[in-house]
Amino acid sequence: MSDTEKTANEVLMSDLAAAAGGGGGMKRAVRMAPKLAFRNLFHDRLSLIVTLTGIVFSVVLVAVQCGLYLGSEQTIARVIDQTDADIWIVPLGTQSFDDPSIMPGQEKYAALSVPGVASVENLLVGFSKWRKPEGGSTTILLVGSDWNTGGLAPWNLVDGTLDDLSAPFTVAVDKSYFNDLGIKKLDDTAEINETKVRVAAVSTEIRSFTTLPYVFTKRETALALLDASASEASYTLVKVAPGADVETVRADLAKRLPDAEVMRTAGFRKRSLDYWLFQTGAGAALIAGALLGLIVGVVIVAQTLYSSTKDHLNEFATLRALGASGSYIHQVILLQAMISAVIGYTIGMLLSLLVIWSSRGSTLNIVMTPGLAGFLFAVTIGMCAIAAVSAIFKVTRIDPAGVFSR
């Protein structure tokens, strides 16, 4: 045993004797439980570092994976949430907004004839070829809409305005996709399907889950770029009049449009989330990563607490010989775990926030909410409490008489 460990143990033993002796008896010992736990934990700095490393690794991994999951949900549903439509008319078999096809075109007029419909707007969405100014090309998702009459407008504009997009063959792109699109600033030009376009507006944080850049433009421009007829649309957005029953209107529309699917906005949103997060396995991978972080954290913390308890069996045996109950010793061990949890959580959250901050402006969307932060704290406390069980089992088998045989 090193001189440092001897000194620490001597101090600990004197504290134990002081706690058990005197008029206060074990009541005083109970009050000293946090002090004993603190000294027991911090006298071996290497073990503490290993414990905190496991907790921090677990917190960061779970925070990033859960943040990615929440960010993926936001990204998938962002376009749908951005509209004020009550009902979506989509082509049969459409799984999400990023899975567009073209409908014949009678959907808008059929919807306008249904009682209870306040307004109808067509969206034209299609995959297109973007040719970069300096050569090379990439695939984009072109979104055409008449936002002046209630359609889908690009949001979070940081350069340019919606009025600037009124000019022919102008588009809005997101700043996070500048590198992918080969552009650098407002007013840069490129080609979409061999037609020259100008960047008239720049947005921020409009990302797609498929990583294909969204490019917004007026519906008239999209019709020309996608070579579509004036009546064709990928999605038809229906706004229900005040006082009308949304489900009644939806059912009426479904009867009139047997060759399309008519869904309430919440239903289309849920279908999109289910498809990308579960049917593709993306959500399962994120959840599996979070569970892996928890398992690794529990194993590392459990092993470290067990080793620390094993190294101090003589001290715990002394406590038992002095009359300390098993619950008191369990309290000391659990306090060690809780102290480790609080310190590890604090460091882990700071690192997680740093990771989230550094991802801003990229195509990666990691979200941290107060609810997620609270969940992570509860998980960290629970993880360390579970890890302390192995150490408690070891202490439970201590024979108090063993201290007199030393």
Average pLDDT over residues 335-345: 86
Query: Is pLDDT of 22 > 50?
Result: no
Helices 370-396, 282-311: inter-axial angle, 10-degree rounding: 40
Amino acid 88: pLDDT: 95
CA–CA separation, 51 and 380 (whole Å) = 12
Rounded to an integer, the average pLDDT of 138-153 is: 88
pLDDT over threshold 90, residue 89: yes
> How would residue 1 be classed by pLDDT, with cut points 50, 70 and 90?
very low
DSSP string for residues in 225-281: HTT--TT-BSEEEEEEPTTS-HHHHHHHHHHH-TTEEEEEHHHHHHHHHHIIIIISS
Give the pLDDT of residue 322. Answer: 67
Which pLDDT value is given to residue 4?
44
Task: Determine the pLDDT at residue 7.
Answer: 43
Closest by CA position to 376, among listed 56, 147, 98? 56
Count each helix (H run) and each strand (E run) in the chain, helices first: 13, 10
DSSP annotation of 103: B
The phi, psi pair for 305, rounded to 5°, reads -65, -40
pTM: 0.75
User: What average pLDDT does range 183-210 have in this prediction?
Assistant: 91
Classify burial at 319, counting beta carbons within 10 Å of its beta carbon; exposed 0-12, middle 13-18, buried 19 or more.
buried
The pLDDT, as a whole number, for residue 297 is 72
pLDDT computed for residue 49 by the predictor: 84
- Give the DSSP H or E segment for 121: strand 117-131
- Is residue 92 over pLDDT 80? yes
Selection from 147, 151, 182 nearest residue 165 by Cα: 147
* Interatomic CA distance for residues 97 and 249, integer angstroms: 22
Residue predicted with more confidence, 218 or 67: 218
- Is the predicted pLDDT of residue 188 greater than 90, yes or no? yes
Higher pLDDT, 372 or 364: 372
Q: Which long-range contacts (CB under 8 A, 24 or more apart) does 314-317 make?
A: 314/403, 314/406, 315/9, 315/12, 315/13, 315/16, 315/40, 316/395, 316/398, 317/398, 317/399, 317/400, 317/402, 317/403
Q: What are the residue ranges spanned by the domains of the chain?
A: 3-74+282-405, 93-258
- pLDDT band, residue 34 (cuts 50/70/90): confident
User: 389 exposed, middle or buried (CB, 10 Å; 0-12, 13-18, 19+)?
Assistant: middle
| Alpha-carbon distances, residue 30 vs 16, 260, 333 (angstroms) | 11, 71, 13
Per-residue pLDDT, 26: 46
